[in-house]
């Protein structure tokens, strides 16, 4: 797939970039995309939820009413889950939600997500962004020129760039990542991928290594 390269003003240049079909042109595998997104979201969970069980409640163990014949549920003491202020039955406990996915599955998921965006014509290649200082206005103007003002955008850079990151930080619909850190959730969560020219080669090397 061959795409035009846009400059910082949102104008088409005479340069073109070829996207590798083995990365951007495969048949998307929906199931592995789902698995990778599920793992990413699971890894974001702290898992620190906790409620007190019956043995952890501080209260009298005196038997309140007789075992049978009262017409209601059995409750041995004031800590019973059937009473207001009592313990919680089968409540949540701290746990780790993360799970393992094979490297090849994760790689296939990312390539499937990139191919899906390519099929939707949701990938735009721009010249490398070199801001002398953080300027949110430059990101806003670029999105406007590219007619992407109302879209969720993910800018993919070849490496860390503090000025570009700070320029996009205050924009709720714009995220910035590096080509080596690109993940399936980030790709699927955006409306359009804005990839810098140098990032294309980094992505190629990432999946061919």
The model's pLDDT over 73-103, given as tens digits with 9 standing for 90+, comes to 888 899 999 888 889 999 999 999 999 999 9
When divided into structural domains, the chain yields a total of 1
Residue 190 lies in a domain: yes
Residue 175: predicted pLDDT: 93
Residue 47: predicted pLDDT: 94
Query: pLDDT class for 61, splitting at 50, 70, 90?
Result: confident
Query: pLDDT class for 132, splitting at 50, 70, 90?
Result: confident
Cα separation of 57 and 34, whole Å? 41
- Average pLDDT for the chain: 91
Q: How far is CA 71 from CA 65, 77, 141, in A?
A: 11, 17, 72
Cα separation of 135 and 73, whole Å? 66
Report, as an integer, the average pLDDT of 173-186: 93
Residue 9: predicted pLDDT: 82
Q: What percent of the chain has pLDDT over 70?
A: 100
3-class SS at 174? strand
Report, as an integer, the average pLDDT of 152-160: 92
Yes or no: say if 134 and 163 are a contact pair by the CB < 8 Å rule. Answer: yes
Residue 209: predicted pLDDT: 61
pTM tops 0.75, yes or no: yes
- Domain span at 116: 2-30+101-208
CATH of the domain at 204: 3.40.1370.10
Residue 208: predicted pLDDT: 80
Residue 13 lies in a domain: yes
Residue 196 lies in a domain: yes
Report, as an integer, the average pLDDT of 130-143: 89
Residue 37 lies in a domain: no
């Amino acid at each position: 797939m061959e795409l035009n390269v846009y400059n910082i003003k949102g104008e088409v240049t005479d340069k073109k970039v070829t996207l590798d079909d083995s990365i951007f042109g495969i048949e998307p595998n929906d199931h592995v995309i789902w698995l990778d997104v599920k793992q990413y979201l699971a890894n974001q969970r702290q898992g620190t939820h906790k409620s007190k069980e019956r043995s952890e409640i501080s209260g009298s163990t005196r038997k309140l009413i007789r075992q049978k014949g009262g017409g209601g549920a059995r409750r041995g003491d004031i800590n019973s889950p059937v009473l207001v202020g009592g313990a919680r039955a089968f409540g949540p406990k701290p746990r780790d939600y993360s799970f393992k996915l094979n490297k090849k599955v994760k790689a296939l998921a990312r390539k499937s997500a990139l191919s899906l965006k390519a099929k939707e014509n949701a990938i735009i290649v721009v010249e490398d962004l070199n801001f002398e200082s953080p300027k949110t206005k430059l990101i806003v103007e670029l999105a406007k020129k590219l007619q992407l003002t109302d879209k969720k955008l993910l800018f993919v850079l070849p490496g860390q760039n503090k000025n570009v990151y700070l320029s996009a930080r205050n924009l709720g619909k714009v995220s910035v990542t590096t080509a080596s850190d690109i993940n399936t959730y980030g790709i699927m969560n955006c409306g359009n991928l804005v990839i810098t020219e140098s990032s294309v080669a980094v992505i190629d090397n990432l999946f061919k290594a």
